[in-house]
Structure formats: structure tokens, C-alpha cells
């Protein structure tokens, strides 16, 4: 059939006596030899003794064939002048009258390495007629199809190519690939005709009875003259309808994966699907060798199996990409490069335990000079929690426009309780720090921030408070405390105090207070790092199972409009 049939299996040795020898594989058929590339030569011999159009090698009925295309003084094979003849391995081709210009025709060395196998295959293939080289090419292309899977080609086209090869090998009219659908019924996934055209899977109507028998036998089944075959005619309606005479069904099995189940003596092969080939001609498949069908089945199964693996891998990669986008968005929403304000300095850190987290903090100035400070911990982890933090951030940003925080908390609580299917709630601490040191805050089930004041560490509040979104009747209110210059607040989520060591002992409130106290005279950055280091030392490599978030705020004292603390003496009084 195709011109490129045996192309890659032969090569030419350039054996000119007056130039270095060279080996050129016959990459394409017909293969043109001559001087210069511009005249379409595949082998260009830059030698004035060679005519522009010298010779051509093509595939003939009995193998490779060389013909003279106008070489001056003609061409000679093994010393005999010829206009055209079949080539054999080792034939010496003289171009023109000069003995120096000789080529040697060689069959591909790879082919000779596999000679034994190919001879066997050829004899199998010869038994069902056709050009053996064609069929070998079919098997070769099947192998190529496997490697195609690793390209970015759509899987459907790889599976389609696999069917094309199966059609070529078996001389079928149509080929289809069937797979189980969700309810376990075999459905046609891909279908092709003998000219490589795609056929509509829903129009295929393969014989269910033939399929069934192949799956029951767990082996390829050839049915010749279907209407005469030993089968229930009613069950074979589709066969009669389409006037199909013969068919081949090859069930496809995957390799058993994972540890073998010790309770089952025989590892059950997983049925992946089936290749179904049919023909309107009688006896199309009668000469098909079982070994060929088994080889075809093994190839198709491996392609299908690999394609499913790759499909899952691509899906996993896609999800990972989505998650990366979510993480990028979340990181972009967290305040970037914590800004200091005239009356306060601030720093924070967020270590989600998964790609994205349910903890969140924010610091933003209000128009009236106050600065809003927020830390929140959404119940649960990962993407579900992260989605809610984003929503909270949007809702809470309204507070910077001057909306009463208590109202916002009450509203958020109702909003989440009414949407119970969200299955998430949050603990939060929200504070508004005025330039004069007044801290107005709303708490929602969140652990009390630590207050570091003149060497003492205390909690801002004790007792409980309702989280946001858990209890529909919850009401929120605000409290107030006066901060002194250098007072420092350590806001944290329970991922800090509940960080566990290898024995599942939690870091706990006391260790946190102790670590904070030890670093309270340090810069905010050192205080934050000191606490994180204490947690890290305590957990000693035990895996983190919750997000860890810290926000540290230090009140500098009342600020002037110039942004300098008012306690500094004026230069010019």
C-alpha cells in the first residue's frame, strides 16, 4: 500500500573511492538520488559526475526497486547495466561510467537484529496474505501509537490511530473501541472506517452477542459469516441489519495494579474494553492468526491502559494548576509588604498547611486615621476554607468604609447561618486602633490576642464568644481598651497553640505566652520570628496539621500629622 512502507528499513552506503564513505537511510519512498537538493533529491551527491536526476529507489511488489532517471552513461547493479531492477541486500550500484562512483544497498541493521522475530512474524502474516512489509509496518505503527500517547495529542486521536492500524492489519471495513460506561455497559468510544475516517460512535451498533461471547471467553473471538454462526438470531439482529458477514472481537485487559489481593488466588485481570472489527466480506478474518490477534489485543490494551493513566495525570495536573491559581489569588489578597502607620507598626505571617488555607489576616487604614486589624480562622482546611476567607475579606472590607463592625458581624453571622450548606464558620478578632491608643474590638470565638505591656504578658479578654456563622441567634458587641505606647498585641490562630509535637502534645497557651514574653522587647520582626522558632523547635519536625498565622501589632503612641510620635519634642518651640 503506502509508498513509505519499508522506508526506514533500508539504507544506502556511499562507497565512492575518492570521498569519505557515508551512510544514508532511505527515509522516504520513492527515494531520489542526484546532484543538488533543488531537483528534489533525497540523497544529494555533490559531484559533477552525477546527473541532477540520477536514479530513484521505490518499493515494488517484491521489495526495493531501483530505476534510472537519466544518469549520464546509465546505472549498473553488480556490474550489469540496468534501467530498473529489484535490489537485494549488498547490491553494488555504480552510477555512470566511473568505477569510483558506487553505492551499496543495505537492509537496515535493526531489521537484521530482529531478523529472527520478523521471519516468524512474516510467516504468520504470510499465512493470511497481503504484503508482509505492510503488516510489519502496522505493528510498528502500533508501537509508535504508544509513544504518541506521551505527546500532547488528544487521546481520542491516539486511540483512533490505534484502530486504523488494527483495520490495516486485519483488513477489516470498520474498527471500534468499546469501553464500559458508568453503568457497566460497553459503549463505542471511537470508531473508524478503513480509510482512516472517523465514524459516529452512536451509529455503530456492534453485535452485543459477539461482544458477550468474547468477554465470557476472555479471549479474542473471530466470527465468520455471522448470519450462519452458532448464535441466537434474535440476539444477532444488529448483525443482520447491517449485513455484516464477519467480525473480530478482542477483549482488552489491563495489567493488575497495586499489591495483589492475598485472598484471591488468581490475580483478576481488569477488563478495560474491547476492540471490535467487522467486515461486509465473508471470510475476511478466517486466516487471522490467534497470535496476531493476541499481539494486537496486548498492544491495544496497553495503549488504552496508558491513555487512561495519562488522562488521569492530565486531570491531576489541571487540578493542581487550579489550586495554584487559588493560592496565587489568596496570597495576593493578604496584605503585601506590611505597611507601618504613624501610630503603629505591624507584621504578620501566614503558613497554610495545604496549598491554600483557612486563616487570614488583614490590616488597613480607615479614612478617619484609625487602622483596622483583623485575624480570622475558618473552620476546616484547604480550598473549602480558603473560598470562605475570600468571601469574609470582601464583606469585612466594607468596614473600612465606615460601617459599624458589630453590624457587619451580625450580618455575616446571619448570612452564613442561612446558608448552612456552606458548612463553614469562622472565628475572628477585629480591632480598630485609633491614633490616641483606643482599641475598639469585636471578638467572635477567637482566642484572645496577647497583650505585652511593660514586661507582662496577659490576655486581652477571657471567656468565650460566638464564632461567626455557627449559631443563628448569636449577637455580637464591641469592647474597648486603652493601649499605652509600646504596648504590643500578638494575634494568632489556634494553629499556633495547637501545633503538636511528635507525641501529639500541643504547644499550648503557656508556651506561647512564654515565647512572646521572652521577645517582647525585640523588634516586631524578631518577636514574630521568635514565636515561630519556638513553635518549630517544639514540634521538632512533626507534620503541621493546621494553618499557622501570626499578626503582631505595636502601638507607638499618638502621632502628629507629620507622622512622628507626638512625644518627641518639637524642634522649634
Partner 1 sequence: MTISTESMDGGITRVLLDGRLDIQGAAAVDLRMNVLAGSSKFLLIDLSKVSFLGSMGLRSIIIPAQAVSRRGGKVALLSPVPMVEEVLKASKVDEIVPIFHDLDAAVAALR
Which residues are near partner 1 by CB under 8 A? 377, 379-381, 420, 423, 425, 427, 445, 447, 463-467, 470-474, 494
Cell numbers describing residue 562: 507629620
Nearer to partner 1, 203 or 473 (CB): 473
Nearer to partner 1, 473 or 562 (CB): 473
Nearer to partner 1, 329 or 471 (CB): 471
CB of residue 568 to partner 1, shortest distance in Å = 41
Q: Are 273 and 187 in contact (CB under 8 A)?
A: no
CB of residue 512 to partner 1, shortest distance in Å = 15
Nearer to partner 1, 236 or 496 (CB): 496
Torsion of CA 144, 145, 149, 150, to 10 degrees: 10
Nearer to partner 1, 128 or 461 (CB): 461
**Distance set, CA 429 to CA 441, 468, 550 (Å):** 7, 10, 12
Burial letters 14-48, b for 16+ CB under 10 A, else e: bbbeeeeeeebbbeebbbbbbbeeeeebbbbbebe
CB of residue 420 to partner 1, shortest distance in Å = 7
> Would you say how long the chain is, in residues?
573
Q: Which residue has the cell 522516504?
A: 28
CB of residue 323 to partner 1, shortest distance in Å = 18
Q: Are 93 and 106 in contact (CB under 8 A)?
A: no
Torsion of CA 83, 85, 88, 92, to 10 degrees: -10
CB of residue 535 to partner 1, shortest distance in Å = 18
d(CA 54, CA 52): 6
Q: Are 297 and 283 in contact (CB under 8 A)?
A: no
CB of residue 514 to partner 1, shortest distance in Å = 19
Cell numbers describing residue 463: 471567656
Q: Are 538 and 507 in contact (CB under 8 A)?
A: yes
CB of residue 377 to partner 1, shortest distance in Å = 7
CB of residue 452 to partner 1, shortest distance in Å = 21
Sign of CA dihedral 407, 412, 417, 419: positive
Residue 516 DSSP symbol: H
Nearer to partner 1, 403 or 470 (CB): 470
Give the number of other Cβ atoms within 10 Å of residue 265's Cβ. 7
Nearer to partner 1, 263 or 543 (CB): 543
159: helix, strand or coil? helix
Cell numbers describing residue 157: 486521536
Q: Which residue has the cell 440476539?
A: 235
d(CA 13, CA 102): 9
Task: Give the list of residues 6+ apart from residue 37 with CB closer than 8 angstroms, or none.
Answer: 44
CB of residue 413 to partner 1, shortest distance in Å = 12
Q: In terms of Cα–Cα distance, which of 358, 285, 294, 352 is closest to 544?
A: 352
CB of residue 242 to partner 1, shortest distance in Å = 50
Nearer to partner 1, 334 or 474 (CB): 474
Nearer to partner 1, 506 or 517 (CB): 506
139: helix, strand or coil? helix
CB of residue 354 to partner 1, shortest distance in Å = 11
CB of residue 348 to partner 1, shortest distance in Å = 21
Torsion of CA 177, 164, 304, 214, to 10 degrees: 40
Nearer to partner 1, 16 or 466 (CB): 466
Q: In terms of Cα–Cα distance, which of 556, 530, 500, 151 is closest to 340?
A: 556
Nearer to partner 1, 57 or 444 (CB): 444
563: helix, strand or coil? coil
Nearer to partner 1, 38 or 510 (CB): 510
CB of residue 366 to partner 1, shortest distance in Å = 28
CB of residue 259 to partner 1, shortest distance in Å = 24
d(CA 144, CA 158): 10
Kindly state the greatest CA–CA separation across the chain.
Answer: 119
Nearer to partner 1, 341 or 425 (CB): 425
CA contacts within 13 A on the Cβ side of 545: 12
Nearer to partner 1, 434 or 465 (CB): 465
Distance of CA 105 to the CA centre of its chain: 46
Amino acid at each position: 500500500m503506502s509508498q513509505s512502507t519499508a522506508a526506514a528499513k533500508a539504507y544506502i552506503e556511499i562507497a565512492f573511492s575518492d570521498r569519505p564513505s557515508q551512510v544514508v537511510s532511505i527515509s522516504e519512498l520513492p527515494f531520489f538520488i542526484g546532484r543538488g537538493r533543488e531537483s528534489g533529491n533525497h540523497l544529494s551527491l555533490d559531484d559533477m559526475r552525477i546527473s541532477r536526476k540520477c536514479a530513484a529507489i521505490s518499493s515494488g511488489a517484491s521489495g526495493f526497486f531501483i530505476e534510472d532517471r537519466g544518469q549520464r552513461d546509465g546505472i549498473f547493479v553488480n556490474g550489469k547495466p540496468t534501467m530498473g531492477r529489484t535490489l537485494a541486500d549488498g547490491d553494488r550500484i555504480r552510477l555512470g561510467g566511473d568505477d569510483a562512483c558506487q553505492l551499496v544497498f543495505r537492509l537496515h541493521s535493526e531489521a537484521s537484529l530482529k531478523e529472527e522475530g520478523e521471519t516468524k512474524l512474516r510467516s504468520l502474516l504470510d499465512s493470511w496474505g497481503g504484503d508482509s512489509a505492510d503488516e510489519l509496518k502496522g505493528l510498528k505503527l502500533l508501537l509508535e501509537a504508544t509513544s504518541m500517547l506521551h505527546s500532547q495529542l488528544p487521546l481520542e486521536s491516539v486511540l483512533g490511530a490505534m484502530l486504523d492500524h488494527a483495520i490495516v492489519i486485519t483488513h477489516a471495513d470498520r474498527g471500534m473501541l468499546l469501553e464500559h460506561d458508568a453503568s457497566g455497559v460497553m459503549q463505542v468510544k471511537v470508531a473508524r472506517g478503513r480509510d482512516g475516517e472517523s465514524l459516529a460512535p452512536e451509529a455503530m451498533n456492534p453485535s452485543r452477542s459477539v461482544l458477550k461471547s468474547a468477554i465470557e471467553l476472555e479471549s479474542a473471538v473471530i466470527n465468520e459469516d455471522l448470519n450462519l454462526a452458532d448464535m441466537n438470531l434474535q440476539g444477532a439482529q444488529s448483525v443482520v441489519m447491517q449485513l455484516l458477514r464477519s467480525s473480530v472481537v478482542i477483549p482488552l485487559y489491563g495489567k493488575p495494579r497495586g499489591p495483589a489481593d492475598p485472598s484471591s488466588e488468581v490475580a483478576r485481570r481488569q477488563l478495560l474494553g474491547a476492540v471490535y472489527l467487522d467486515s461486509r466480506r465473508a471470510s475476511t478474518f478466517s486466516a487471522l492468526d490467534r497470535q496476531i490477534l493476541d499481539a494486537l489485543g496486548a498492544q491495544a490494551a496497553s495503549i488504552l491502559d496508558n491513555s487512561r493513566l495519562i488522562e488521569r495525570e492530565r486531570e491531576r495536573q489541571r487540578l493542581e494548576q487550579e489550586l495554584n491559581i487559588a493560592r496565587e489569588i489568596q496570597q495576593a489578597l493578604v496584605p503585601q509588604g506590611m505597611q507601618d502607620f504613624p501610630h503603629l507598626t505591624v507584621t504578620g505571617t501566614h503558613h497554610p498547611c495545604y496549598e491554600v488555607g483557612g486563616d487570614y489576616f488583614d490590616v488597613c487604614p480607615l479614612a478617619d486615621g484609625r487602622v483596622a486589624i483583623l485575624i480570622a480562622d475558618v473552620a476546616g482546611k484547604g480550598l473549602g476554607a480558603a473560598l470562605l476567607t475570600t468571601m469574609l475579606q470582601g464583606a469585612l472590607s466594607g468596614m473600612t468604609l465606615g460601617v459599624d463592625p458589630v453590624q457587619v458581624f451580625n450580618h455575616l453571622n446571619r448570612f452564613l447561618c442561612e446558608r448552612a450548606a456552606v458548612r463553614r464558620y469562622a472565628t475572628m478578632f477585629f480591632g480598630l486602633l485609633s491614633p490616641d491608643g483606643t482599641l475598639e474590638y469585636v471578638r467572635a470565638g477567637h482566642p484572645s490576642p496577647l497583650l505585652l505591656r511593660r514586661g507582662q504578658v496577659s490576655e486581652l479578654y477571657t471567656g468565650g464568644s460566638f464564632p461567626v456563622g455557627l449559631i443563628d441567634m448569636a449577637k455580637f458587641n464591641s469592647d474597648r481598651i486603652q493601649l499605652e505606647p509600646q504596648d504590643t498585641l500578638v494575634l494568632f490562630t489556634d494553629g499556633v497553640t495547637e501545633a503538636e509535637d511528635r507525641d501529639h502534645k500541643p504547644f499550648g497557651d503557656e508556651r506561647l505566652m512564654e515565647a512572646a514574653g521572652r521577645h517582647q522587647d525585640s523588634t516586631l520582626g524578631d518577636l514574630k520570628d521568635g514565636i515561630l522558632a519556638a513553635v518549630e523547635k517544639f514540634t521538632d519536625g512533626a507534620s503541621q496539621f493546621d494553618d499557622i498565622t501570626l499578626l503582631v501589632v505595636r502601638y507607638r503612641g499618638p502621632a502628629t500629622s507629620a507622622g512622628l510620635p507626638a512625644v518627641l519634642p518639637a524642634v522649634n518651640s
